[in-house]
Amino acid sequence: MKSRVFSGARPTGRQHLGNYLGAIQNYVSLQGEYTCVYCIVDVHALTSLEDTGSLQKNIHEMMLDWLAAGLDPQKSILFVQSHVPEVMQLHTLLSMVTPLSWLLRVPTFKEKVKLQPHNVNYGLVGYPVLMTADIVLYKAEVVPVGEDQLPHLELAREIVRRFNNLFGNTFPEPEAKLTSFPLILGLDGKEKMSKQLGNDIEIALSDEATIERVMTALTDPARRYRSDPGHPEICNIYRLQRYFNPFQLDDIAEQCRSAKIGCVDCKMLLAREINSTLKPFREQRATLAAKPRYITNVLADGAQRAQVIARETLKEVKLKMGLI
Ligand code: SF4
């Protein structure tokens, strides 16, 4: 039997190139090797209470991108976290075995406190327990993570060990599948590509809109005039060429250094390659978007399949904790 993978992502709406080259392509490739449980974690999104009015739209658009990019609802369980409310019960039960001191030392909690000092809510401190419940409710053995998320997974493993010690072996300790997600910088060339920062390129854009976005990117500041030689090694457009134009990299670098190519032409080259790479994705997205209730049905089916596992796990937990 294949091992089970779990991964959750916040409902950020339409996905951008950073999401696509990182998480989404990884999700798609894991489908062959594992039984995958992929969840849009809408409850986690409530810790900041930002823009809750867009939650449903964001879930819809994000799932549309995932499906069009190759996530297969026949192979993977795709659902929304709150559609399987058992996770909230398991969160409460796991919170009873989690010392508060473990949660207060989590670095991201301290960062969040700084980011939203006006709203340091209970959900913020309990976030790692809910994340643990997300994983262990489905008895996932493997969690794909970047190096920066390792401390979170270690905390989940500690909670699992404590539960298993107190109530008998119940959950597998989830193992990290270390994944080196490429760092995709945004159009400003400084910060990680992010919708919140407005420096992103959505993968579902039209060809024309993609060209427009790419044209706004900052390049080598030393190239003030077309005749100025450039430094591709510090240019974000050049970094992106690595993913979309890998066979022309050396040529582009040489032409940039000798000012044989200007930044506008170089950006156009990149934008055209992005458009041609994403053409099948965009066509598939349009086809799926035209099917009435398609996303709703995929999510309902995913939630139903997830709930079969969730109910079984929760029953076992309640039995072991003496609740039934
Ligand atoms: Fe960057 Fe290309 Fe301009 Fe060189 S020519 S600075 S690689 S955009």
CB 173 within 8 A of CB 158: no
Q: Residue with structure tokens 């049905």?
A: 297
Compute the distance from residue 223 Cα to the ligand 1 centre, in Å. Answer: 8
Per-residue confidence at 49, pLDDT binned at 50, 70, 90? low
Per-residue pLDDT averaged across 200-226, rounded?
95
120 and 32 inside one domain: yes
- Residue scoring higher pLDDT (51 or 286): 286
Does 220 sit in the ligand 1 pocket, CB within 6 Å? yes
pLDDT for residue 317 is more than 80: yes
Note the pLDDT tens digit of each residue in 103-123: 998 888 888 888 888 888 888
Q: How far apart are CA 298 and CA 302, in angstroms?
A: 6
Q: Which of 21-25, 74-78, 169-173 has the lowest mean pLDDT?
A: 21-25
3-state SS assignment for residue 79: strand
Q: Is there a catalytic annotation at residue 2?
A: no
Radius of gyration of the chain (CA): 22
Which residue's alpha carbon is nearest to atom 3 within ligand 1? 263
Which residue's alpha carbon is nearest to atom 4 within ligand 1? 256
Per-residue pLDDT averaged across 228-233, rounded?
94
Residue 101 burial (10 A CB sphere; 0-12, 13-18, 19+): exposed
Using a cut of 0.75, tell me whether the model's pTM lies above it: yes
Does 76 sit in the ligand 1 pocket, CB within 6 Å? no
77 and 224 inside one domain: no
| Phi, psi torsion values for 52, nearest 5 degrees | -65, -25
Q: Is there a catalytic annotation at residue 112?
A: yes
Ordered alpha helix ranges (H), 182-292: 207-215, 236-244, 249-257, 263-289
Q: What is the pLDDT of residue 148?
A: 79
Does 219 sit in the ligand 1 pocket, CB within 6 Å? yes
Q: How far apart are CA 299 and CA 244, in angstroms?
A: 32
pLDDT for residue 28 is more than 80: yes
Q: Is there a catalytic annotation at residue 110?
A: no
246 and 109 inside one domain: no
150 and 280 inside one domain: no
pLDDT for residue 262 is more than 90: yes
Per-residue pLDDT averaged across 219-225, rounded?
91
28 and 89 inside one domain: yes
16 occurs within a structural domain: yes
Q: What is the pLDDT of residue 288?
A: 97
40 occurs within a structural domain: yes
CATH classification of the domain holding 157: 3.40.50.620
Note the pLDDT tens digit of each residue in 122-166: 888 999 999 999 999 999 999 998 877 888 899 999 999 999 999
Domain around 297: 4-184+292-320
Q: What is the DSSP-derived secondary structure letter of residue 321?
A: T
65 and 39 inside one domain: yes
Does 261 sit in the ligand 1 pocket, CB within 6 Å? yes
Of these ranges, 41-45, 102-106, 314-318, the one predicted with the greatest mean pLDDT is 314-318
pLDDT for residue 13 is more than 70: yes
74 occurs within a structural domain: yes
Q: What percent of the chain has pLDDT over 70?
A: 100
Atom of ligand 1 minimally distant from the CA of 267: 8
Does 69 sit in the ligand 1 pocket, CB within 6 Å? no
Q: What is the pLDDT of residue 147?
A: 79
Q: What is the pLDDT of residue 179?
A: 78
143 occurs within a structural domain: yes
Q: Please, what is the average pLDDT of the chain?
A: 94
